[in-house]
Amino acid sequence: MEDILIKVVDGASQKFDAEYAEVRAQKLSKTMLTLKEGRVEAAKQGIENGAAFRVLVNGAWGFASVGTLNFETLNEAISGACKMAKAASSRLKTPIKLIETKAVNDKVVVRPRKDPSKVPIEDKINTTLAMNNVILGYDNRVKSCTIDYLDLTGTSCFINNEGAYIEQDKLYVWSRITATAKQADVFTFSREEIGSTSGSEVFDVETPEIVGERVAKRAVEQLKAKPPKGGTFPVVLGPNVVGVFVHEAFGHLAEADLTLSGSILLDKLGKKIASEVVTLYDDGTMDGAFGSFKYDDEGTPTQKTLLVKEGIVVGLMHSRETAQKFNAKPTGNMRAEDFRVEPVIRMRNTFMEPKDYSFEELVNGIKFGYYLKSFRGGQANLDGTFQVGIQEAYEIVNGELGKSVRNASISGNTLETLFKVDAVGKDFELWPGRCGKGQTAFICGGGPHVRVKGVLVGGGA
């Protein structure tokens, strides 16, 4: 296989004058399950083989993806990519260049304790069924439970015309668990996700009992919750919400392609954009975390990237293309969901660094506000406006946790809000999730508990 790929890639630079050419050949296997109230909708197993080519000709990109590893087809695909790049280059104002990097030769083998490709599908069904039983058995007001399960294993082989050769095992285990509860006219919804790159042993920690109870308990507690008041209030964010806030509100703006597209960070490099208690990282090296890997899909080693140090923006997340524009180093953030799509700058495990407050100290000074514990979804915009929907929240009254609150969401301007972070906790949690940017990436977000002096809370109707 290796020889064929090298031949195909070299052909692109020789025959079509490609300045750069790469191939990413993948063999992937997936097992998927969907359970609805314990009914196994279908047990699914699939195989996907394919290759993706990226070439740079006359300063423009050409990309081709084919679902085969057949030599003739691969050759055809890469010459197609070169011709397309030429066509695209006809209107180019600024030719694209890549920063020089050292070509890596490496083979990355994962050694899971429990390899999902070796766990019988019956066991996977039984794990998800056990989770279902915990949830539906928790309270008779829990009306429905949907569990999705996915494991992905395989290899990805990256070769470019600069001499890089990286063979890398892929391993992901993921599950999303949702439940609804109903009482009279009140409907509630609760969800959790599990995600790991270590192996099926993740279910020994996130056991069906622990996760099932977390999901069901929240759905039931929300039945008696009330909508929040709308307006600006002090809040304490839980690590789960800090994770999505850091990811959505700040992280996307620091993806250098979006920074260049006009995000509010463009003229803020080296400047203060947050209070000095805020230090943020995007880290691809955390062992077993859902956003970790060894090399990105451009062949750059992953790293722990410091983005904000004590309130000052010190780094962005770079591809070789954006690194060239900023005269920076690529950070190993170029990720492609699979061979069907091009790599783009994506986050890995993004978090705020813990400091020294206890949870009690954070809540203590608040007369009236909210404790936002767990998120439902979030979205950011280049103008710095963020929104995070909350699935679990509580009132804070005179420094103590009060009644539970449902369907809250927070919004604001990222920079204004980061300046209002006035105390950072000493605990730390990292939560798995998925991020969409035209394609899906597995990520984590997290941090400690954090206090924000004031943020806009969207109320109920």
Q: Contacts with another protein in 221-260 (CB under 8 A)?
A: 227, 230-232, 257, 260
Verify binding: residue 107, another protein, rule CB under 8 A: no
8 Å CB contact between 265 and 313: yes
Q: Can you tell me which of 1, 2, 7, 70 binds another protein, judged by CB under 8 A?
A: 70
Binding segment (CB under 8 A) for another protein, from list 55-63, 98-106, 111-119, 131-139:
55-63
The only residue of 10, 48, 139, 429 in contact with another protein, by rule CB under 8 A: 48
CB of 30 to another protein, least distance (A): 9
CB 205, min distance to another protein, A: 25
Q: Which of 14, 45, 358, 398 binds another protein (CB under 8 A)?
A: 45
The single residue among 409, 424, 430, 431 that binds another protein, judged by CB under 8 A, is 409
Q: Which is nearer to another protein, 288 or 460 (CB)?
A: 460
Report if residue 118 touches another protein, rule: CB under 8 A. Answer: no
Subset of 271-330 contacting another protein (CB under 8 A) = none
Binding residue for another protein, selected from 4, 103, 104, 264, defined by CB under 8 A: 264
Q: How far is the CB of 164 from another protein (least distance, A)?
A: 21
Shortest separation between residue 109's beta carbon and another protein, angstroms: 24
Answer yes or no whether residue 144 interacts with another protein by CB under 8 A: yes
Buried (b) or exposed (e) across 215-251, using 16+ Cβ within 10 A?
bbbbbbbbbebeebeeeebbbbbbbbbbbbbbbbbbb
84 binds another protein per the rule CB under 8 A: yes
The letter for the amino acid at 297 is D
Q: Does 62 bind another protein (CB under 8 A)?
A: yes
- Residue 388 is a binding residue for another protein (CB under 8 A): yes
Tell me the number of residues near another protein by CB under 8 A.
95
Q: How far is the CB of 420 from another protein (least distance, A)?
A: 14
CB of 150 to another protein, least distance (A): 11
155 is an interface residue for another protein by CB under 8 A? no
| Span 157-176, contacts to another protein by CB under 8 A | none
d(CA 61, CA 54): 7
Residue 1 in the binding site for another protein (CB under 8 A)? no
Is residue 389 involved in binding another protein (CB under 8 A)? yes
- For another protein, the closer of residues 303 and 413 by Cβ is 413
Handedness of CA 380, 282, 270, 273 (dihedral sign): positive
Position among 18, 24, 50, 211 found at the interface with another protein (CB under 8 A): 50
Q: Does 80 bind another protein (CB under 8 A)?
A: yes
